[in-house]
Amino acid sequence: MRGYRFLEHTADVGLEASGETLDEAFANAAAGLFALIAEGPVTPTEEVRVKVTATDLEELLVHWLNELLYLYDTEGLLFSRFRVHIFLGEKTGPPSFKLEAQVFGEKADPAKHTRMREVKAATYHGLQLQQRALGGTGRYLLRVVFDV
């Protein structure tokens, strides 16, 4: 169970990610992003710490994914494992929703990583964050569209 799938969208690519917890759903969204960028196994040898803040959860998702894109674009790193911790905040006042993560991956290697795709950014378009109760267990569902 991958925890993510791609959605039909004319010019861009939509991603739907799910998880038993918010942390897991955000991790699966990141996994989906890197599956979009490249095919091929990504060995989780290098660790990077990521910290982002936002004024709400939707914005936090966009900031999280765009921070990973920034790391890919500047360091050439692809990631495959994500240990995510989300701290909920207040919707008013300065940005108080926080995400701290350890992300693990390696530098993109043309011998291993193929079918590369350029992803410009995670957008706010069609952004959805839902908690669905299934037999008492909450299940989080995220939808985000990437500009490619």
Partner 1 sequence: MAEEWNGPLEPAGPGKWRIPRDYRPSMRTDGIIYATQGMLGDIRRDRAPEQVANVAALPGIVGPAMAMPDIHWGYGFPIGGVAATDASGGVISPGGVGYDINCGVRVLRTNLSEAEVRPRIGDLIRKLFHDVPSGVGSSGKLSIGPEELERVLVEGAGWAVARGLGRPEDLAHAEEHGAMPGASPEAVSRKAVKRGLDQLGTLGSGNHFLEVEVVEKVHDPVAAEAFGLYEGQVVVAIHSGSRGLGHQVCTDYLEVMARAGRDYGIELPDRQLACAPVNSPPGRDYLAAMAAAANYAWANRQCLSHWVREALVEVMGRPEERLGLELVYDVAHNIAKIERHRIGGRRVELCVHRKGATRAFGPGNPAIPARYRAVGQPVLVPGDMGRSSYILVGTALAEDETFGSACHGAGRAMSRTASSRQVRADDLQRELAAKGIVALAASRATLAEEAPSSYKDVDDVVAATEMAGLARRVARLRPLGVIKG
Question: Site residues (CB under 8 A) for partner 1?
Answer: 6-13, 37-39, 55, 59, 63, 66, 70, 72-74, 76, 108, 114-118, 120-121, 123-127, 145, 147-148
CB of 123 to partner 1, least distance (A): 5
CB of 74 to partner 1, least distance (A): 5
E strand map for the chain: 4-7, 13-19, 46-54, 77-87, 97-107, 121-122, 128-134, 137-147
Q: Measured from the CB atom, is 21 or 43 closer to partner 1?
A: 43
Q: Measured from the CB atom, is 10 or 137 closer to partner 1?
A: 10
CB of 79 to partner 1, least distance (A): 14
Task: Give one DSSP letter per residue of 107-121, joined into a string.
Answer: E--TTT-BS-----E
- For residue 19, the cross-strand partners are 140
- For residue 96, the cross-strand partners are none
